[in-house]
Amino acid sequence: MGNVIPLRPTKPQLLNIAISLVALTSLVFNPGKLLLSAVFDPILIRDIPAFQKMLAYNFASYWVPATLFYLMLVLTPIGIWLKSTRSIHWSLFIANIILILYLSARVLASTVQGGGVSFLVISYSIVTALPALFLVMFSFVRMIILSIRHRSADTDAEVFYWGQALKGRSWALVSLAVSIPIVFAFYVGYGEGSPFKEARVRMPVFKEKCQIAGDTIHLKRTGAKGILLDRTFSRRFTKIKDGRITGSRGGGFLDGDLLHRYDLPFVELIERSSSQQDDETVTYYRKYERGSKKDTVETPISEYVVHQTSLTDDRDRSFRITGEKVEIYDRKTQELVASSIYFNSIKDWRFCGDAPGGDYTTSAFIARALNLQPRAK
């Protein structure tokens, strides 16, 4: 019976048990946050990137306690007192692999801005991490029962009987813990409505559109006495690196941004309205300072006009892909001065277009094209 119930687990088996102990203790508290908060300033931890923070928490929460548990099992009588079987160790090993893969997915998901991928990984923990934790708990219960019975039983045969009584249930949980994540991984990756399946279709569409992205300066101009805007919304994307937005994205009012940042005398706005008879009325306004009142004017006198046109259709919008063309025309000669084309994959936090310094804003493109000078503070 010695092969069925070893006198003492081997060192690799003790390491397997130590890692499983960490999984159980993590249900009660997070030692990583306590350890990092004790060693480092919480403000410093808050300001590091999400990817590095998640990596640090996992290291402090799992690998440091696992090392301490392993030393405890090796250097104290606890490791000698524990009695186990191969099936229990295989159960713990498979559960540990599933949990490690789940944690790795959490770390990788933290590299994607917006939190959508992280939420997706967490939402499927019920069919990945949760069955693995149940398997760990059941295996520990079985191990403790065997250890107690080994001390109180008269013969190894009696201990073996108790081990066999729980063995079938243990392997049933092993099969469940392995099969459920595999089935759901296949569903998530290839099933109808799968976000990963959608991503495989979305990315080629986005890359194809990006072939025309970029800025083009057709005519060299310096300064402007006034700019006429057909739309007042300004796009903003920050900290763009290798096509990925690592900062923020959003927008604002283009007229206010231009008047606040650059030495521009005024901007003019176009407002169109339609009546019940489908007659369109066009009204022009002029602003001299950011936040100032709009003055109604009969005829615009700006040197340049800025047109913004959407470049996406219904299919692109269903993929959460947005794109625009910004064009600047000389109002006197009707010549195209400059154009800017960009696309944004909202779900993937990707951007393609010219972004000097890692940032793109509509107002910054207009300033580059017309060589507008920064407004004096």
- H helices of 194-296, where? 195-209, 254-261
User: Over the stretch 228-250, which tens digit does the pLDDT of each residue have?
Assistant: 999 888 999 999 988 888 888 88
Gyration radius of the chain over CA positions? 32
Last residue of a domain, one of 137, 160, 191: 191
Cα dihedral 11/13/15/21 (nearest 10): -140
Alpha-carbon span 246 to 351, nearest angstrom: 10
Residues 184 and 230 in one domain: no
Does residue 196 lie in a domain region? no
Does residue 6 lie in a domain region? no
Q: What is the pLDDT of residue 326?
A: 96
Residue with more model confidence, 28 or 249: 249
- H helices of 124-212, where? 129-152, 156-190, 195-209
Alpha-carbon span 339 to 289, nearest angstrom: 26
Report if pTM > 0.75.
no
Does residue 376 lie in a domain region? no
Q: 69 falls in which pLDDT band (50, 70, 90)?
A: confident
User: Over the stretch 271-302, which tens digit does the pLDDT of each residue have?
Assistant: 887 666 667 788 899 999 877 788 899 899 99
Task: Tally Cβ neighbours within 10 Å of residue 47.
Answer: 9
Alpha-carbon span 336 to 47, nearest angstrom: 44
Residues 308 and 162 in one domain: no
Number of folded domains that form the chain: 2
Mean pLDDT of 30-34: 63
Residues 305 and 186 in one domain: no
214 DSSP 8-state letter: E
Residue with more model confidence, 111 or 40: 111
What size, in residues, is the chain? 377
pLDDT at residue 197 greater than cutoff 60: yes
Alpha-carbon span 249 to 264, nearest angstrom: 25
Residues 143 and 283 in one domain: no
Residues 186 and 223 in one domain: no
Does residue 18 lie in a domain region? yes
139 DSSP 8-state letter: H
Q: Give the residue numbers spanning the domain of 20.
A: 11-191
Residues 123 and 265 in one domain: no
